[in-house]
Amino acid sequence: MKIMNKHAIALAMTLIVAVASILPIGPVKEAGARSNNGPGVRPNNDNGEIPESDLIYVTGSSFAMGYDQAYEDGRPVHEVTLNPFYIDRYEVTNARFREFVDAPGYVTTAEHGGYCWAYLEGAEDFQRILGAYWRQPEGPGSSIENRLNHPVVCVSWHDAAAYAAWAGKRLPTEAEWEYAARAGADDHYRADTGEHHGGQDHATVANDHSPSSKSHRNNMEFHAMGAQQSGENQVRANIWQGTWPDVNHLDDGFFYTAPVGGFSPNDWGVHDMIGNVWEWTADWYAPDYYLNSPASNPSGPDSGDNRVARGGSWFCSPNYCGAYSTHYRGASPPDHAFNNVGFRCAADADYE
């Protein structure tokens, strides 16, 4: 999912947040198979372990949502009070989504439409890949069989909402997502620079150590990451590690998605809130929503053209995408599907 910088690119590319905003950038090309510029998935990517899809209980409280140095749609900072809720410890995996599809015989949006927007290794940008859908996210010839514990991708907002309902859950609101991602921190974290803004950050970061940020990160304590790792190559978040589109160092071995839970959780035990895949939320998107957001349990506008997605993905790079932070707002039409967009579920406090 390419949710692009809505303010740097949105004029030309409507509603894509910083290379993550779900609509393709550049000329649209049709393709029917994977790129031949290298294997889309390394054979050792999947350790075969499917983690339990357990929920984390989040105590209700108030927090300052937004960031005063964000793009306009991420301002102003405003106090939000949330009821207690649950959120999935992990992003929904291919294995879990397969259980859902096999049970009711569900057909995804990408299957109905015949394509998924996908970035293929070595390509110039996202393309409309004919025949791509969640079981073969890079198109015919690709497979999820060695990625069952990776987050499902090529799923639209409608697919994510349908899975959540089948599981007896729901999608998190945008406010719930940000609160859970920050895990009690009073500031925001950017995975590309390792910078903390406003205080000590506890947000989850999965697999990021771009050359430009190594020295800064290595001298910093990441309380969200569990035990501090030693050495120069500290893997924090699954993002593009290098300069897009020419260099991806692949320090962790993953070009596309990584297994869920493969990186340290945040202080509340939630994994991969930053990087790996963009995550659909329940909310409709409006660029001025923060100006009039309810103070208690905001759930987004009543209607809109695009749904909010959060967290950035493996496609985000320091030179091309600033979306992998706890405040960045992505948005895309709910019927679009991308190979860098997935989701996790939430539930009310009385969930059983």
As its CATH architecture, domain 1-352 has Alpha-Beta Complex (3.90)
User: Cα(66)–Cα(298) distance, rounded to whole angstroms?
Assistant: 13
- Pairing of the two strands 346-348 and 85-88: antiparallel
pLDDT tier, 188 (very low <50, low <70, confident <90, very high otherwise): low
Instruction: Note the pLDDT of residue 42.
Output: 38
Average pLDDT over residues 136-143: 97
> pLDDT averaged over the chain?
78
Q: What are the angstrom distances between the C-alpha of 156 and each of 47, 107, 149, 167, 175? A: 27, 11, 19, 17, 20
pLDDT tier, 243 (very low <50, low <70, confident <90, very high otherwise): confident
Residue 76 preceded by cis peptide, ω within 30: yes
Token look-up 């990776």 returns 150
Name the residue among 191, 215, 192, 219 with its Cα closest to residue 205.
191
DSSP symbols for 84-99: -EEEESSPPBHHHHHH
User: Cα(87)–Cα(348) distance, rounded to whole angstroms?
Assistant: 9
User: Cα(93)–Cα(97) distance, rounded to whole angstroms?
Assistant: 6
Secondary structure of 199-263 in the HEC alphabet?
A: CCCCCCCCCCCCHHHHHHHHCCCCHHHCCCCCCCCCCCCCCCCCCCCCCCCCCCCCCCCCCCCCC
pLDDT tier, 133 (very low <50, low <70, confident <90, very high otherwise): very high
Q: Where are the domains of the chain?
A: 1-352
Q: CB-based contacts of 25: which residues, under 8 Å, 6+ apart?
A: 2, 4, 9, 13, 16, 19, 125, 126
- The percentage of the chain sitting over the pLDDT mark of 70, rounded to a whole number, equals 72
pLDDT tier, 80 (very low <50, low <70, confident <90, very high otherwise): very high
Instruction: Give tens-digit pLDDT for 266-304.
Output: 999 999 999 999 999 999 999 999 999 999 999 999 999
- Report the 10 Å Cβ neighbour count for 78: 17
pTM: 0.81
Q: Please say if the pLDDT value at position 1 is more than 60.
A: no
Asked if 117 and 128 touch (Cβ cutoff 8 Å), the reply is yes
User: Cα(307)–Cα(335) distance, rounded to whole angstroms?
Assistant: 10
Q: Phi, psi at residue 217, to the nearest 5°? A: -70, -35
Cα within 13 Å of Cα(240), Cβ side: 25
Task: Out of 18-32, 45-59, 281-295, 329-343, pick the least confident.
Answer: 18-32
How many residues belong to the chain? Answer: 352
Residue 245 preceded by cis peptide, ω within 30: yes
Name the residue among 57, 24, 59, 99 with its Cα closest to residue 338.
24
Asked if 148 and 95 touch (Cβ cutoff 8 Å), the reply is yes
Tokens encoding 166: 């089948």
- Give the DSSP H/E element, type plus range, for residue 216: helix 214-218
Name the residue among 342, 346, 352 with its Cα closest to residue 92.
342
